[in-house]
Structure formats: C-alpha cells, structure tokens
Structure 1
C-alpha cells in the first residue's frame, strides 16, 4: 500500500471524515471490491466526504484529468448507482458530487442500492463486517469522550413524562432535541427506506436475523433527495413519518441519530431505528462493551413496584440487556422484583413505551446538551479524542 496506490490515496481522503478509517489490509480489500483502480484514482481528487462537493466541470479542472465531461459524468453516475458516491442537485437542477464516508454513507448506500450481483454483495458484506468489528467499532466507540451518535428516547415514553406535568428545575425540563416528534415537524423533506443493516445481516447469514420491520430507515433533506432519486426510498409526510416511528417503537427498535441539536437541515440527517442483532450502532457498542460509546438520553427508567406485574416484557425488549428479574427468596415474595442496571442503560425508553401495565416511566435526571450543529459535534468529537 504505497503512497501512489490509488486505494490508499482514496482511504486518506475518506479518513478526513470525523469517523476515521484506519489503514488495514481489510479496508484496502474493501475498496478494491467497491472501486476499480481508475475510479479510486480519479475520485481521490475529492476532499472531505459530505463537504467537498464539485460539479463535473470544476472537478475536471481540479483533477487535471484528460477525460471529457461526458466520460466523468458517466463514471460518477455509475458510482452513484452503485451507492459509493454521493450526489446532490442544486436549485438550478445541476448535479454535484462528493465522497461518502464509510459510515454513515457507503455502508448504507451500497446495500440499499442493490446494484451489483448478489454474490459480489455477499463478499462485500463479509469484508465490510470484518473491518467494522475488528477495526472501525473499537476506533469509533472507544476513541472519544464525546460520542458521534446519540439515543433519542421513545416518543411514547417522553409523552408520558410531559403528561405527568410534574414541576422540575429548569435544567431538567424536556427540551426539543429530546423529543423525536420535534425533529419530524422541523424537517422539510423526509424519506423512508429499507434498513441496510438488516439487509446486510441477511447477506451474512443467508436468512433474516430477526423479524423487526425493515421499512423504518429515515433520512432528511439532501440525503432524502438522494435516496428518492436513486429509487431506494420514498418521500413521506410528517404524519406518516410519526407512524413509522411509532411502529418502530412497538417493535422494540431504538431511535438513534447524530449527536447534535440541529436536525435535518444538515448532513447527515437521519434517524436510525436499531436492533441489537443487526444494526451497526448497537452492535458496535455491545461488541466493545461500552454502552457510553453512544450518547445516552437524559432519561432513566423508574419502576413503580405497585404497578409492576413481573411480566418481564421490559426484559425482553431491552436492547442492552440492562433489565433483569431478581427471583424471590423471602416467604412473602417482597423481593420478587425487576431491576435496571443503569450502567448498561442507554435511556432509549423502550421499556417504558412497551410496558403493558404502565409500570415504567422515564425520568429526566441528566441535563447533557449536545453541540448545536453537526460541524460543532464533529469538532468536539475530534477534540475529545483520547488517542
């Protein structure tokens, strides 16, 4: 992997993104599967993923390629079709292009695009997974004190908190960035597509890994436009978007997003609805045994002992294995209780939203406020790197 190797040149550009891609033979192999040497050489002209957009005429000037505009446009459109280059359209209808990072980007776009033969996609799936668990997850979820991703508590659980209407100090009031419906109402364009994590898991296993719904991957604004143009998602209105999120909560899926307040107006704007068996965010923090690798919500579950019927629904739905049953030892069964291991809890609220006896409520006990913008979040993630 010399300095002139086109794949190493491309990796260095992908490494400019906040979530770094360490240099390994596995990642080199992944790039070889995704790009031809010529493609890798040419697109390494781009700068930071999601930031350095270029229209074809400017790209040709900067890259000093001898290829024509028609040839470069054809190459870029082919890469977009395969899900390994990002595209957006300006107000005048002119396309511009940028690199997509490894995650969130190439992983999602590639498996949702389904543009290559199944056997090729299966090979990519295995190599990508090897790199994720051996290198990317330890790097991403262990390397900064400020997590890149954040949990959004279940809407039904937060609604319960608001309905209770208890007086609390100002710093513990529920804020807009903690309410998933606020994100939906502020978005101008919303699209829903098939979860790439569950599709990827099926390629790995040869069968579905779980029965969770797949049409719950939600993106906003520029990424929504990109997905819809590619035919891998459809636009939805605010009402249907909320229905998708309610369906995800009922199925025991965790809402997760990037760790900043402004939502949808910036890239990447998304809400993932994650399961621990397929989805890379939850799988990542479980793999490295670091629940705080994702920013927990400001809420903890509180169990009403009088209402709790020990049905264990909360144990089944908890994605982190943070809830357990303490079997009784006393004659009066007073120690027959459900407990929450708060060190493992990420504050997703699924236990509260899925409790059939309304015995669990989410209580806001922290007042951690994320950075306002995606740019601020990225800078802080890098500033608080521990290595």
Structure 2
C-alpha cells in the first residue's frame, strides 16, 4: 500500500509542477488523504494527454467496464482530469499544482490544510528552479499608460473580453486560511477560469458561470482590495487568479525571498518621480512585495529586486508621483502561446526530457 503512493509521488514529481520528496514524508500523507490505494494504482496508468478508457484499461491490464466508474468518480473528486469530447469520455493525469490541489476547494479538511501548508515550502523550491513560471503578473488596468509597451495579452480587461466561457471559482488559498482562522477577509470568489477549464470546474460543481461584465467587476473589486492579477503564463490564458500576499501560497512565499522580481514573469516595474512624491505612504502600504519604502527625506523609493510590476501602487497615488515603466528589452518576458507550450518549457528547464 505504501509503495503505490511512493510511485504516484514520483510520477507527480515528473510533471512540470513537481512534487518533491521530503524527509518527513508529508507528501505521502497528502496523497493518502486524497487517494484510496485503488485510485492511486489506477492513476499510475494515466498520462498527461487525454485518452479513452480503452487505452487506459489496456495499460492497467483491466477491463474498460471495470475501471470506467472509478475514473469518472476520480474526475469528480479532482484527482484526475475527465472531459467529454464529442460524446466520448477521456481522462488524463493531473499535476499537483496547478491542478489537483486547486480542484480540492470544496473538499478541504483541517488535516489536509495542515499537511499542505507544511509542504508548500518544498513546492516553492521547485518553482524557483525554472525561469518559466506557471503564472505571470500583469498590471492592473488603472496603472496602464500610453507610454507603456503593452501587448493585448498583458492587458487585463482585454484578456477577459476575448473569453466566451467564464467561470468564477473560490480562491482555495483564502478559503483554506479562513477555515483555520487565518483568513484576511478579502473576496473569496476571485479565480476566473476560461474555456474548457470552466466546463471542467462546472461539471464538478465548483464555482459559477458569469458574464464578461461580471468578471470585469470582480477584477475591479479585487484591485480595490489590493489583489494582484496573475493569469496563466501564456498568450492565451486558461485562468486569471486575483491573489493576495498573505494567503496566496505562491505570492506569500515569493515575498519571503530577497528578490521576487527575479522569480516572477512580468514586464514592468514602478518608478517614483521624487519631485511629485509627498510621502503619503499609500504606495508603501499597498505594495504586496514590500518593494516600496520611504527614504530619509520621506520620499518613496522602489527596490527593483522586489517590484513585480503589478501597478497597485499607481492606483492609490493621488499625486501622479509613481508610474509603471517597461523593463529593458533584455529583461522582457514573452509568454508561450498556449498553456501546453508553457508546461513544455517548464519540463525542458527541469530536465524532464
């Protein structure tokens, strides 16, 4: 029984998101909370490409009719990905983050939350190993000026207006913090899921379908609360997360590093016009990465190693003293075209093939 979980952990670690081994074995405890031994065994026969039950059954040495109900149930639990294409059920292996964990938003328990929070620092080490990240940061709309060299895939509102199917789901990070008495009180409905991903969430009873206008209003509300927009790291994103620096497992752990700007994929950074700055400290208060502080003369200064270019500081400055600027050409980030390309890049950078 222990062996099947170890094999599953290795298979998860060989995905772009990773699933590293620990001395404490917390990663195995997480898998045991999520998967029965039978589910774990069957998951080992899946790959990260959608396949029919007949193909999976042949690999698993099982009869298709014997494993189909279990595969459907595992899809409902968010342990694997299950979609129906042209009337045919297909299934694929899911990585742990972003993937299995986010699908557990309605299945959280205090024990699972405790184990996950113990495991997060180990997952973050995997994140820091690659230049390509699963998410990127785009500036909030109010911080955009005509001087910025901004592309459509970096424009928050344009990203939303190109979507035909949008679902809003609860933020698993804020939900799990709230469940253990550590919530920040910021909006929970803050994850926008697009296209096929929205249909997958909908089929599992997670979130609700919304219009473009409703999505834009959620974004505006999130920005007022100081949430950072993080789309999936591709020209054609499959989601946009609105993240806080206190609960978001990615942002909060990046914040603990000395140079968040070197980890986050972003094309902009804030600069201060010292002649205009009044030292009101509003920008310092809202900065999610503690990138802004007051110097001896009470003028805001930006630590470029920490600024991730979200533009929240610009939204609270009443004196036009701070603005976003393009990074130099050699530091600009061009996201892959699709999320599949993103995962391929991460896999190559990790040496998985």
Structure 1 residue 375 displacement after superposition: 3.2
- The partner residue of 1:99 within 71, 93, 107 is 93
- 1:217/1:271 contact within 8 Å kept: yes
1:179 corresponds in structure 2 to 155
2:218 corresponds in structure 1 to 244
- 2:135/2:265 contact within 8 Å kept: no
1:35 corresponds in structure 2 to 35
- The partner residue of 1:217 within 191, 197, 209 is 191
Deviation per CA, 1:187-231: give whole Å up to 9, x if none.
22111011100112223xx22421211111111111111111222
1:308 aligns with 2:277: yes
1:297 corresponds in structure 2 to 266
CA distance in 2, matches of 1:78, 1:379: 29
CA distance in 2, matches of 1:297, 1:98: 31
Structure 1 window deviating more from structure 2 (182-191 vs 7-16): it is 7-16
Structure 1 residue 303 displacement after superposition: 2.4
1:337 aligns with 2:299: yes
Deviation per CA, 1:224-262: give whole Å up to 9, x if none.
111112221111222221111111111101111233223
1:8 corresponds in structure 2 to 6
- 1:150/1:294 contact within 8 Å kept: no
- 2:235/2:337 contact within 8 Å kept: yes
CA distance in 2, matches of 1:294, 1:153: 16
2:139 corresponds in structure 1 to 153
Deviation per CA, 1:73-117: give whole Å up to 9, x if none.
332233233322222221x2333222221100111111x223xxx
Q: Secondary structure at the residue paired with 1:149?
A: coil
CA distance in 1, matches of 2:81, 2:346: 23
Q: Secondary structure at the residue paired with 2:51?
A: coil
CA distance in 1, matches of 2:16, 2:341: 11
1:278 corresponds in structure 2 to 247
- 2:254/2:260 contact within 8 Å kept: yes
Deviation per CA, 1:250-292: give whole Å up to 9, x if none.
11011112332232xxxxx111111111101102312444414
Q: What is the alpha-carbon root mean square deviation over aligned residues? A: 2.3
TM alignment of 1:79-118, pairs within 5 A: 79-90=74-85, 92-110=86-104, 112-114=105-107
* Larger Rg computed on CA atoms: 1
- 1:82/1:113 contact within 8 Å kept: no
Distance 1:230 1:130, change over 3 A: same
Structure 1 residue 296 displacement after superposition: 4.0
Structure 1 window deviating more from structure 2 (315-324 vs 281-290): it is 281-290
Deviation per CA, 1:306-352: give whole Å up to 9, x if none.
5433221111110100111224xxxxxxx231111111111111101
TM alignment of 1:317-332, pairs within 5 A: 317-327=286-296
- 1:291/1:346 contact within 8 Å kept: yes
CA distance in 2, matches of 1:76, 1:113: 19
Structure 1 window deviating more from structure 2 (314-323 vs 182-191): it is 182-191
Structure 1 residue 178 displacement after superposition: 1.5
- The partner residue of 1:201 within 174, 177, 185 is 177
- 2:160/2:215 contact within 8 Å kept: yes
Normalising by the residue count of structure 1, what TM-score does the alignment of the two structures yield?
Answer: 0.83
**Structure 2 residues not aligned, in runs of 5+:** none
CA distance in 1, matches of 2:265, 2:316: 19
